[in-house]
Amino acid sequence: MKRLLHLSLTALFFASVLPLSAQRIDLGTNLWNAGWHKEDDIFLPSIKRVNPDDRNPWNPQFLKDLRPFSTIRFMDWSNVNNATRTQFSQRKLKTDPNQVPAAYEWMIDLCNREKKNIWLCIPHGADWDYSLHLANLLKYGSDKDGTPRTSGRGTNPPLDSSLKIYIEYSNETWNGQFTQAAYVRQKGAELGLPGGDDNMRGAAYHVYAAMKHFENFEKVFGKNSPQLVKVIAAFSTWDGVARHMTSVLDDKKVNPNRIKADALAIAPYFGHNVNGNDPDWAQKMREDIAKVADKCATHQQIAKAAKLKLIAYEGGQHITRGANKVNSDPEMEKLYLEYFKAIGKYFDGVFCHYAHVGGDGDGGAWGALKFTGQNPKDAPKYKALQTISGR
């Protein structure tokens, strides 16, 4: 009886905190760089000793922990930040026992096995054929040696056709801490793309490159394929990036073949300037949630004007001082529920929380779980995500 009463009171609390918009939000997740995990967190016996012929090398607890999420973003798994890959032949193969970074074939296997949509980011310096090979791999699979098929079905299976494919060019090309930022600025200037300064010309190049890669995916999957979600990613803190990106979507120099994007993505983190060591940290987080919600509302308007859906490539708390202390505090569960209540109504599609599993420290605690198999009772962010997803 006590347990039933507890469950009833919990349900009433969640119903009061979460409106219908937040209850319906489609939750995805970002997987951290596999090399930052414990060796047996993901694959057994180790991420560095994966048998390519093993039909199920996954840690079963890792699979179970993914249950709340509909979509997996593999940006960190494929080492997209500061990437040096330019050709598809330089990618990691499934036959390599050390899966850091991971092979696309294992990402496909994971998504097929757990029925998750896949979100892939194309390295910033990739040649145009890179995305064509990647599209064929997703559509037809690959041979045992990793060669993508162009018809039929490979030894390594393709992605299940019922699953969505989110395609994004690089990651945070506006972010100066990554080499892709300087790259897009240089390319935008070289091509003379629209923009009042190098930052805006870089944003225009982001769109230019994205459209070239989207076009290759459409060559394989068909024009405006419903399986594809073509993502333009902007900067949630400064809406000028999104405004410029959407303004050049129809520019003949940027998008000569009039390829259509599907979604505008942002990363609406909250609490970046909050010190977790302050006694009033939770109140400051609540104040920041309101500010972030306003930015989400602005980006929803920008997306609607461009006939795009607003989605989130990343998001969640962003405390970088006293992070481990507050991310283990039960108050964080309430803050997450309030956060999604405040912003949920502005999103038209998936919200990929950052991140799924990740160790914590004073300067950052990104994982919803600290390690694979952590008890959800000790993981307030994960508990909130379970509640919101309903899974």
pLDDT at 7: 39
Identify the pLDDT of residue 16: 52
With a pLDDT cut of 90, the percent of the chain lying above it is: 91
Cα dihedral: 181, 183, 187, 193 (round 10):
0
pLDDT value, residue 17: 53
Residue 30: is its pLDDT beyond 90? yes
Per residue in 347-361, pLDDT (tens digit) is 999 999 999 999 899
In whole angstroms, how far apart are CA 146 and each of 47, 106, 153?
Answer: 19, 11, 13
Which pLDDT value is given to residue 24?
62
Identity of residue 380: P
**pLDDT tens digits, one per residue of 87-137:** 999 999 999 999 999 999 999 999 999 999 999 999 999 999 999 999 999
- Between 248 and 24, the more confident residue is 248
Q: Indicate if the pLDDT at residue 157 is higher than 80.
A: yes
* Cα 279 → chain centroid: 32
The rounded distance, in Å, linking the Cα atoms of 192 and 207 is: 14
pLDDT confidence tier of residue 33, bands split at 50, 70 and 90: confident
Tokens, residue 71: 């979509």
What one-letter code names the amino acid at 288? Answer: D
User: Could you tell me where the DSSP H helices lie in 141-273?
Assistant: 179-191, 198-221, 239-247
Q: Which residues of 142-178 are buried (b: 16+ CB within 10 A; e: fewer)?
A: beeebbbbeeeebebebbeeebbbbbbbbbbbbeeeb
pLDDT of residue 391: 80
Which pLDDT tens digit goes with each residue over 169-217? Answer: 999 999 999 999 999 999 999 999 999 999 999 999 999 999 999 999 9
Q: Which CATH number is 17-389's, of 3.20.20.80, 3.40.50.300, 3.40.50.10260, 3.40.50.20?
A: 3.20.20.80
Q: Which tens digit of pLDDT belongs to each residue from 327-376?
A: 999 999 999 999 999 999 999 999 999 999 998 999 999 999 999 999 99
Give the count of beta carbons closer than 10 Å to the beta carbon of residue 275. Answer: 15
Query: Residue 159: which of 225, 100, 91 has the closest Cα?
Result: 225
Lookup: tokens for 257: 């073949």
Q: Is the pLDDT of residue 266 over 90?
A: yes
Alpha-carbon gap, residue 200 to 331, rounded angstroms: 40
What are the tokens at 40?
A: 């047996």
> What is the model's pLDDT at position 18?
55
Sign of CA dihedral 240, 128, 225, 355: negative
Measure the CA–CA gap between 368 and 366, rounded to whole angstroms: 7
> What are the backbone dihedrals phi and psi of residue 326, each rounded to the nearest 5 degrees, phi first?
-80, -25
pLDDT digits (tens, 9 = 90+) for 273-297: 999 999 999 999 999 999 999 999 9
Between the CA atoms of 191, 84, 30 and 184, what dihedral angle is there, to the nearest 10 degrees?
A: -20
Q: How confident is the model at residue 8 (pLDDT cuts 50, 70, 90)?
A: very low
Q: Confidence class of residue 38 from pLDDT cuts 50, 70 and 90?
A: confident
| Element of type H or E holding 387 | helix 380-389
Whole-angstrom distance, CA of residue 137 vs CA of residue 157: 9
The angle that helices 128-140 and 104-114 make with each other, rounded to 10 degrees, is: 40
Q: Regarding predicted confidence, which is higher, 5 or 168?
A: 168
pLDDT over 70 for what percent of the chain? 94
- Give the pLDDT of residue 34: 84
Whether the CB-CB separation of 358 and 42 falls below 8 Å is answered with no
What value does the mean pLDDT of the chain take?
94
d(CA 388, CA 385): 5
Q: Give the pairing of strands 360-361 and 364-365.
A: antiparallel
